[in-house]
Structure 1
């Protein structure tokens, strides 16, 4: 296997903070539960288990049947850097905190105990494989005992194998937005990551140490590179563009849309105009191939977990860091307040938990931190802003919030199962525009009814909900990020 040696940060096991809890567990003879944390990049809820029956995702489907699959889970900010900073800090995004891809916990929420750090301080080995926390060095040494990144042919994070793409991967408009080669799974980064993770599981089994093992699966992030056998799962003749591909923007604020610059880096993608239908169909097929490729890596890891008997004492989490547009609303990528961009897969399997299958209530990624603490028997740190979902997972909840608040730049959105409402304000908090969707008759979000007289009371109530739930530090100013280096440099290898 072409796997580089992981870098190791070894310190004595830290039992500060909650040593009494761990001591009590030891006295009772209880074995600490492990955590296997699988985080997928740009994965929307287009999975077989979420109702997309044309998708080939047997391994995530199996996990969904064994654990609790949250049908309405939302990231708190739809871009990898900020979504992961919020998720792993347990903090909501604010007016300037966790703004975009360059978000960092250390700079924007200094002193915050991260999720892996908290487990490390309570006696766990914490391992980060591939892209987990987005910033290359963000909270790194205090969070992880081991950090590892895959290596390949590319000089950037784009992970090409073909010579033609490799020769132009640093040139805007040079490389293809996808690659289909007849290669083994571990020729690409995610296959290498699966191999490394299985090695870790075997090593951890022998050591007997409790672990928090976080695994970053890069696909289906652009470019859509996957072995040919996964492309072959999807007949191009059966692929269609989304219903909202030819979208009428009348009645929508301009702020609701963006130029999807991320995908415009690639060959055959127009610099400014819409992506043609023919090219869109290729991209959709490539995205689906990458989802199935990612699913196969999940399958290998889960099979090894079971083979070693670790599944009996390991909490498994699988989530996509945010959703993605594949031509929906004539948009691509993330970076918006539409549902398709913010709703993402979330599956949690807790050993011996009786409840299994779909959970329809709305949850947020900020809820993951406290949930994992409760799942393994740790007190929930006071700084976290979410709620433990264990009450939903055990079926004992009577008063779950059943809503989510997400933020993308100047827009803040309230989601529940009935409404999606976004309000855009300037930096001083002054109203700029809004949009409202009534999901009972518009689940695809095609008609903005925010200004309809009959919805005036609904809008007023949802505005109050946003103010009440957006977070106590929402207006707090944080330091700006330094200007990032140009694309293709070392700084962008972890996009």
Structure 2
């Protein structure tokens, strides 16, 4: 009997060893994921898959249907260069003062950027279009597989003679008209050309066999709203409506929104947003929508190529917008605020054999992209990263959260003069957006804002003075204080004094 018992024990032990070796073998044999990293300029969450049925975005919708869509994702600053620098470095913009066009590698030479990280880990790295800001998308960042983006605001994004002539007439800013439509092929505009080059590169990467990190930066729907005529035709003028949010949020200060800016730099556009006529606003909104569908078409070409080459089964695809956008909302245009409409972005992950058609509604940050991609690829994360991995959420978006999630954003006014800089700090949870406007030099809180997304999802009323929210205000204010204490805000302003 004892011998039989020992034999059973031995068999169980032997089976366990076999299973362990088998699992270890599978783990070792697993091919590393490829990464297709798609950054879309000025893309707000006005997409079909985000509930905007009037927008034609079938390819981004396809990506969402095959992956996980985040509905409460926020950038760390609602401007191109700072948002992108934060994502690619994994560091918050206020930590080192990257608020404008300073190259990450100049301000943070010790930082391992996302593309450098993957290159260091044996990945083929390639870039097409705008990933950082135009001045920093260089061969030093991406190696030889790099196509330099063409700056649309230098007039290179126009194809019609009329638009090019208008650009030459703008002697102040050198920018042409705010929109253009032409009966041309997609590749006559830069996003179509960059996508074509990216597709060709995918063929080479497939043959090479090494894991790759490919970054594709689509410049549309950034101004100017230039897209082939067929995309404009998707949105007849009669179908375009003006925004319902025509007034500034109630009980807000001068810090909340800008009254003029980027749009006024284009030929024929008023300097002040209040002077924009309804007919012009309709055309601008139509142009933005056309550019969204143009960008969506390029996304479709990339997804189709992955499928054609058999790369889909082993490629993580992530699509994100570098910030939100206003199209006349609150009487303002473009970005540059701590309002939800400017900080909230579309964020979609598609992981091979992962969750499909799922939604995660709690706040996450664009800062989380770097650690998430590193984690998905089983790579040790650099110590610099300030975001968190979202892999557990990607595996189970319906899980019960152990801790409450928050997203933080900033917006600096007078950032060129430290003595006068007013910094707007915002924190968002599952329901509220809380903002403090702080005199950076003295630390004095000048203004505060609170928006209740449950009762006021479009942020039309600042309820900071309503006493029933005092507990919420205290909680979120402490969160901001803790965030500020862990960040050296003055570091990045020393050079500006």
Interval containing the TM-score (normalised by the shorter chain): 0.7 to 0.9
Counterpart in 2 of 1:9?
Answer: none
Query: Where do residues 42-81 of structure 1 align in structure 2 (5 Å cutoff)?
Result: 42-81=42-81
User: Which residue number corresponds to residue 288 of structure 1?
Assistant: 289
Question: Which runs of structure 2 are paired with 1:363-378 in the superposition (5 Å)?
Answer: 363-378=364-379
Q: What is the aligned-residue RMSD (CA, Å)? A: 2.3
2:91 — aligned with what? 91
| Contact in 2 for aligned 1:107/1:479 (Cα 8 Å) | no
How far apart in 1 are the matches of 2:260 and 2:216?
27
Q: How does 1:339-378 map to 2 (within 5 A)?
A: 339-378=340-379
Report the Cα offset of residue 461 of structure 1.
1.3
Contact 1:77 1:406 in 2 (8 A): yes
Contact 1:103 1:135 in 2 (8 A): no
**Contact 2:103/2:136 (CA < 8 Å) preserved in 1?**
no
Match of 2:37 in 1: 37
Aligned pairs for 1:33-432 (under 5 A) are 33-94=33-94, 97-100=97-100, 102-137=101-136, 141-150=140-149, 156=154, 158-169=156-167, 171=170, 172=172, 175-245=176-246, 247-248=247-248, 250-274=250-274, 275-395=276-396, 398-409=401-412, 410-428=423-441, 429-432=443-446
Q: 1:325–1:331: 8 Å Cα contact kept in structure 2? A: yes
Asked whether the equivalents of residues 38 and 216 of structure 1 are also in contact (C-alpha less than 8 Å), the reply is yes
For 2:361, what is the secondary structure of its paired residue?
A: strand
Secondary structure at 1:351's aligned position in 2? coil
Using the alignment, how far apart are the partners of 1:271 and 1:169 within structure 2?
Answer: 17
- The answer for the alignment partner of 1:8 in structure 2 is none
1:116 and 1:144 in contact (8 A); partners too: no
- What TM-score does the superposition give when structure 1 sets the normalisation length? 0.87
Tell me if the contact between 2:314 and 2:352 (Cα under 8 Å) persists in the aligned partners: yes
How far off its partner does 1:465 sit?
A: 1.0
Per-residue deviation, 1:264: 0.2
1:146–1:469 CA distance, 2 compared to 1 (3 A): same
Report deviation, 1:362: 1.1
Relative to structure 1, the CA distance from residue 137 to residue 273 in structure 2 (aligned partners, 3 Å threshold; closer, same or farther) is closer
Q: Which blocks of at least 5 consecutive residues in structure 2 are unaligned?
A: 1-23, 413-422
Q: Is the 8 A contact 2:41 2:222 kept in 1?
A: yes
Structure label with greater radius of gyration: 2
Q: Secondary structure of the residue that 1:345 maps to in structure 2?
A: strand
Distance in 2 (alpha carbons) for counterparts of 1:408 and 1:473: 15
CA shift, 1:142, in A, is: 4.8
How far apart in 2 are the matches of 1:129 and 1:328? 32
CA distance in 2, matches of 1:215, 1:248: 36
* Alpha-carbon spacing, 1:248–1:472, altered in 2? closer, same or farther (3 Å): closer
Once residues 371 and 439 of structure 1 are traced to their aligned partners in structure 2, the CA distance between those partners, rounded to angstroms, is: 27
**What's 1:468 paired with?**
482
Question: Which protein is richer in helix relative to its size?
Answer: 2
Determine the C-alpha separation between the residues in 1 that align with 2:211 and 2:340: 37
For the residues of structure 1 that align with 2:134 and 2:352, how far apart are their CA atoms?
32
In 2, Cα distance between the equivalents of 1:464 and 1:155?
41
CA distance 1:71–1:279, shift in 2 (3 Å): same
Change (3 A) 1:27 1:437: closer
Return the alpha-carbon distance in structure 2 between the equivalents of residues 92 and 281 of structure 1: 36
Query: Runs of 5+ in structure 1 lacking a partner?
Result: 1-23, 483-495
Per the alignment, residue 11 of structure 1 pairs with none
In structure 2, relative to structure 1, the CA distance for the partners of 1:164 and 1:179 (3 Å cut) is same
Paired residues of 1:108 and 1:479 also in contact (CA < 8 A): no
Alpha-carbon contact 1:125-1:145 (below 8 Å) kept: no
- Residues 90, 366 of structure 1: 8 Å contact kept: yes
Q: In the alignment, is the contact (CA less than 8 A) between 1:25 and 1:31 conserved in 2?
A: no
Q: Number of aligned pairs? A: 457
Q: Find the aligned partners of 1:358 and 1:399 in 2 and give their Cα distance.
A: 18
Q: Is the CA contact (8 Å cut-off) linking 2:138 and 2:146 kept in structure 1? A: no
Aligned counterparts of 1:142 and 1:155: Cα–Cα separation in 2: 23
Shift of 1:380: 1.8
Q: How big is the shift at 1:260? A: 3.3
Given that 2:260 and 2:271 are in contact with CA atoms closer than 8 Å, whether structure 1 keeps it comes out as: no
Is the Cα contact below 8 Å between 1:92 and 1:470 reproduced in 2? no
Q: Which moved more, 1:344-353 or 1:219-228?
A: 344-353
Q: Is the 8 A contact 2:65 2:356 kept in 1?
A: no
